Structure 1
């Protein structure tokens, strides 16, 4: 049987780290959507997300009920008065009946799920449209999603599907929009170390990977250590936050901690669903271009976590009036915007292309001067170029800084491995690489005070950096230790070759004798 276009396309995405059986089911799901007439990948992921949301909503409700029972707390089901919207109640209906029920009953229910609380979720879901065109496609998709066995606190399955589809998007790599690997997100979150009282923002949030990872990190900090389980990929499970004892703290965590912005309204809806399914009842995620005059917020957040678009540019007339760098390059403007968004003392962890660290334009130098003289750069982790393959091969770095004061010295780390192969396949090696060492050494950097520039990490003074035209690239300061290779004298090498040739000739003579004896 000839392969469809969808199957051909999906074969290019072997980088994805999913169990083979789940991967084949997602392949089948995408193929059904493709052959069913939804050939736009972003439209497909949105429609898939709605169905996955319906499934995971019940999973999450069951999980929350169990948690409430375990802690002796009261719990009101999200399906109260709407039991017919539970996935388990309608998943076995005939195709025509299922299509009508999902379109007319379940979909309106998920759109208005928090409407009584006037949340941004219900506000932005009001524009959502259920566009799966055929009853048979709805039924097939429901069957495949049911077989995926997605649990409420499992890995970011929506993000996995999005990552899978994104490699087929014609714009991938052109506008810089691609998903950050989860292990890199976790590393940055651990370096920044957000806490329960922070207000956390991602000004280019995509599927909200940084935001829900920050939430899970905070829960891990406040969950009894003997209860936390870490899987082979480093993700955390069984996070119940049993050390968060005040309801006021929970309310803040759910309603006034996480803020995200993205210019793509489809991505906003996916991010909102992702956050709700990770336990955030009222996430603040809005369809806004934070670099434009649409958004003029300043000094609003205590933590910023982000991987903004690398290769984008913005129309000069649209740039926010308060941004001063005099450039249209988004990778520079976003960092300036982050500085402005932070309160004094607020901390940022952001991925930047290496060019931000050494670029020679006035805008590049002005940004680095701003970082050194108006902020404290805590650390720069240089990452290998394969981290974002197959989307991009650009070399990147993680920049950690605190707003306010000025920089006296900067801690550099030269990451060589991130736990996965650095080719397009990104197959697991040990799934950790240098990351545990980076986190440990960063936390101990002040007491260790490393100065050996031949090592993996070391300090460089701000005075030296300023003298080098504010260059923040590690290659400017790292010393490479060359190992001297001593060769033997030519006459000794010739003597050894002649000796080896003699032995070979002796072996040939012995073989000839053996052959003669046999004949």
Structure 2
């Protein structure tokens, strides 16, 4: 079944149901259904091993209630609604239900795998009110056969398409980072399979999936030890319930048996100074929410000089603290962080450049995250363990033929090829000026820490050229005018000599 066909059929069915109101509820409904189907398939795979004990209790696995020996024996209508609302969702959330007049807890296990299921299903909601339409939705998912490798791959593609669709789904776009960006960023951070890469604002897992794909290339066929390392190679945290469920399901689809994603607020997990030992990682990559206002408990978790009201600022400090010495990181940040000059922003930039070598900043085109946001963003690359001495800036311009990125003309991986070429052979690149009165600007340039500190840590450098004019004094203006006129007279005299020679005058 093609991606477009499956999505269209799901939408057509759900639009008929009076309980599903809009894209947000439709997506939330789809997510927990996908999770249960994917999880049951992964359990069936694991059960091929003799010592594997299934996590989800019998009777509540996808195979137990979503199928039937025939259409006539499938649970449907009011019976299916009653089971889903009053048994399936409460049980898998770890809650008690009434059975034979008694309160029982069928799913009372507390191991890590069981707790993962409970966290995903704990606040799941069945929005559908028509049990027959719900059966139609379930049957659509039953058409996907994971044992068929081509269909499994197509389902992965469908899920990726679903995540891409978030970018145009209002505020849900914050969950998704363009794959062109995550691929390039991970390529330059270059995580190795012996380490762990973390994303403390993981969204739907874009950076984590790109990291897994990057590290998978390091695994040789038959290397079981490396495969085991890959299972623990990524970790993260996510506060929003829908994004968390999307993330966990995404990692399951990519072969991670027990996704290590903490459901909660990474900023308030501990006081900043209390992160040590196993809290630290070798690599980090994240696109934190920006424009958001930090919660009081978030702000209180940071030292007084680093207390910002903006979540993106706090995630910078958190990322630096939780990176091991010798570790490498990248973070997507808005322009506001670069040129912000309030006390907290300046203190966080000082902290970043004291603890890390902030070696490269890539200025991204403004519409990278359109239509979710038009805020201009940047990639900051840093290595922990040595202070910053100089920072290279490179401005990634809009590709030729593009006025802006859009759903039909998205940012592609090859758009970073010019950065890749420059990265290995760094040179300053000066912009061409439309006229001599314009300021000198750079597409790529290196600045020392002294220059940056002298500019009060304003990192708004190598931005897009503007029409700013150099303001000269009257004396300088007259002097330039005279010099320019003399130069033009000289050129005209030279041309007249050439014309006379041609005419043999």
Q: Same fold (TM over 0.5)?
A: yes
Partner of 1:208: 205
String of CA shifts for 1:459-482, please: whole Å, max 9, x gaps. 3322322233222223369899x9
| Alignment partners' CA distance in 2, 1:95 and 1:380 | 61
Q: CA deviation at 1:153?
A: 4.3
CA distance in 1, matches of 2:26, 2:298: 30
2:195 counterpart residue number? 198
Specify whether residues 449 and 387 from structure 1 end up closer, same or farther in structure 2 by C-alpha distance, changes over 3 A only: closer
| Number of residue-to-residue matches in the alignment | 432
Match of 1:302 among 274, 278, 282: 282
Q: Runs of 5+ in structure 1 lacking a partner?
A: 1-18, 224-241, 490-519
Q: How far apart in 2 are the matches of 1:286 and 1:251? A: 20
1:417-439 Cα offsets, whole Å, 9 max, x none, are 47995646332479334313323
- Residue in 2 aligned with 1:503? none
Tell whether 2:219 aligns with 1:222: yes
| Aligned-residue CA RMSD (Å) | 4.3
1:272 is aligned, of 243, 248, 272, to 248
CA distance in 1, matches of 2:205, 2:40: 21
In the alignment, what sits opposite 1:284?
Answer: 260
Q: CA deviation at 1:440?
A: 4.7
- Residue 284 of structure 2 aligns to a residue in which SS? strand
Give matches, 1:178-189, under 5 Å: 178-189=175-186
What is the correspondence of 1:107-122 to structure 2 with a 5 Å cutoff?
A: 117-119=111-113, 120-122=115-117
Aligned to 2:162: 161
In structure 1, what is the Cα distance between the partners aligned to 2:412 and 2:420? 15
Which residue does the alignment assign to 2:122?
A: 127
Corresponding residue number in structure 1 for 2:31: 49
The 10-residue stretch of structure 1 (332-341 or 322-331) with the greater mean CA deviation from structure 2: 322-331
Q: 1:29 to 1:477 in 2, by over 3 A?
A: closer
Alignment correspondent of 1:251 = 228
Number of the residue aligned with 1:97: 75
- C-alpha distance in structure 2 between counterparts of 1:75 and 1:89, whole Å: 26
Distance 1:214 1:115 in 2: 32
How far apart in 1 are the matches of 2:463 and 2:369? Answer: 23
Cα 1:91–1:391, aligned 2, differ >3 Å: closer, same or farther? farther
| TM norm structure 2 | 0.71
Q: Which of these residues, 382, 385, 410, is aligned with residue 404 of structure 1? A: 385
Cα distance in 2 for residues equivalent to 1:403 and 1:419:
36
Quote the residue 2:98 is aligned against. Answer: none
- 1:138 pairs, out of 128, 134, 145, with 134
Counterpart CA distance in 2 for 1:221 and 1:90 is 43
Residues 314, 365 of structure 1: alpha-carbon distance in 2 compared, 3 angstrom cutoff: same
**Residue 381 to residue 63, structure 1, CA distance change in 2 (3 Å):** farther
| Distance across 2 between alignment mates of 1:374 and 1:328 | 22
Q: Aligned pair 1:427/2:427, yes or no?
A: no
Where does the alignment leave 5 or more consecutive residues of structure 2 unmatched? 95-106, 432-441, 470-487, 493-505
Distance 1:60 1:125, change over 3 A: closer
Secondary structure at the aligned position of 1:97 is classed as coil
SS in structure 2 at match of 1:282: coil
> Do 1:85 and 1:106's aligned partners in 2 also have CA atoms closer than 8 Å?
no
CA distance in 2, matches of 1:196, 1:207: 22
CA 1:366/1:141 → structure 2, altered by over 3 Å: closer, same or farther? same
Asked which structure has the greater RCO (Cα within 8 Å, sep 6+), the reply is 1
